Chain A
Amino acid sequence: MPIITYRQALNDTLGEELARDPNVLLMGEEIGVFQGSYRITEGLLQEFGPKRVVDTPIAEEGFVGVAIGAAMLGLRPVVEIMTINFILVAIDQVVNHASKIHYMFGGQVRVPLVIRTPSGGTGQLAATHSQSFENWFAYCPGLKVVAPATPYDAKGLLRAAVRDDDPVIFIESLALYDTKGDVPDDDDYVVPIGVAEVKRRGEDVTVVAYSRMTAVALQVAQRLENEGISVEVVDLRSLRPLDRPTIIESVKKTGRAVVIAEDWYSYGVTAEIAATIQEQAFDYLDAPVLRVAGLEVPLPYAKELSAVSKPNANSLIYAIHQVLAGSSRGALWAK
Chain B
Amino acid sequence: MDFKLSEEQKKFRQEVSDFLEGEIKQGLWEPSCDAWIMGYDPEFTKRVSRKGWIGLTWPKEDGGQGRSYIDRLILTEEMLRYGAPAACHWFADRQIGGAVVHYGTDQQKKELLPMILKGEAYVGLGMSEPDAGSDLASLKTKATEDGDDFIIDGQKTWTSGGSNMNWIYLVARTDPDAPKHKGISEFFFSTDLPGVSVAPIHDITGGVHFNEVFFENVRVPKTALIGVQNKGFYQILNQLDYERSGMERLMANYPLFEALVQYTKETRRNGKPLSQDPLIRSKLAQLKIGLEIGRMHMYRVAMVMDEGRAPNWESSMSKVYGTAFEQRLAGTAIEILGLYGQLSPQSKRAPMKGMAYHSYLSSKGYSLQAGSSEVLKNIMALRKLELPSQ
User: Are A and B subunits of one complex?
Assistant: no
Residues of A participating in the B interface, judged by any CB pair closer than 8 Å = none
Residues of B participating in the A interface, judged by any CB pair closer than 8 Å = none
